[in-house]
Amino acid sequence: MDFPRLDPQMRAALARNDEIVRELGPPTPGIEGVRAQAAAARAWWNEGGPAMAQVRDGKVPGPHREIPVRVYVPRRSASPLPACVFFHGGGWRIGSPASNDRQLRELAEAWGGIVVSADYAHMPEKTFPAPVEEAAAVYGWLARHGCQWGIDGQRLAFGGNSAGANVAMGAFHAAAQVQGAFRCAAFVVGVFDGDVETQSMREYGDAGLFPTRESARKTFEDYLGNDANLADPRFNALQADSGRLPPVFLAAAECDVYRDSSAALARRIREAGRSAELRVYPGMTHLFFGYSRMVDRAAECIGDVARFLREHLPPAND
């Protein structure tokens, strides 16, 4: 199917990813096979990019397990640096702290602060609200103990990609005791509610792009378990108290079923008297952020997030 609105680089990146998946062959049966194939498909996209002063893999105590994290330190510093906690996408089923390795190294270098890529519980092993509970535990640990990793625990940002954006936002609303440590938030193609009747859902949900409207509906059903959770503020940011939020940056893709979710949240935040910056990237699909190796607008998005972080969390100069 032809998509005249797609940016040529976006089109080429989708074709390259299809080629990678074909070369890998079908996954082995079961969710672990799907996860292994997804991780292998990300390897090419994560090649290259800037070197860090340090990349540390660690774990944070959580309510269900020790939570894996990857810490990107772009430079040595005599004083603690601000940090942005970032949660990967993957439909609440797949992904890891390494999923966006190149993109988060690019972000750390462009910003100058530390990026903490944090895992969270996945389906089918865990469903809502377990991922949010784990993310909230990461927030609390970094606010109280981040100094162990050279992080200023009172100068934090939070964010994520796709489902990870949903988890990140839900965890903020669940982590009332440490909300004051967060100076800003940045989200890319976020999923902030379960509405499958928006204009962007109707426009792109049956167009042959990923994700589809039906896959979104089924994912919400599997993750939430019952319709009552659709209104839970830990899932539905439009039902949460937006007046508690720090300044927010929202990156949306034009050709994405979730585009209008970001737009609705931006309106909700502004109605609450808070600051929301919304940027829609023309010709991009839901997957564009992870394709910065080939797609200029993905690199542009990373630069926009870095600029936003510098404005609200400037790294110390030393």
- Look at residue 2 in the predicted model and tell me its pLDDT: 57
Phi then psi dihedrals of residue 224, to 5 deg: -90, -30
Question: Where are the chain's structural domains?
Answer: 8-312
How many CB atoms are located within 10 Å of the residue 307 CB? 12
How far apart are alpha carbons 201 and 211 in whole angstroms? Answer: 10
- Look at residue 188 in the predicted model and tell me its pLDDT: 99
CATH, range 8-312: 3.40.50.1820
Whether residue 228 is predicted with pLDDT greater than 90 in this model: the reply is: yes
How far apart are alpha carbons 185 and 84 in whole angstroms? Answer: 8
Gyration radius of the chain over CA positions: 18
Flag whether the pTM goes above 0.85. Answer: yes
- What are the tens digits of pLDDT across the range 88-146? 999 999 999 999 999 999 999 999 999 999 999 999 999 999 999 999 999 999 999 99
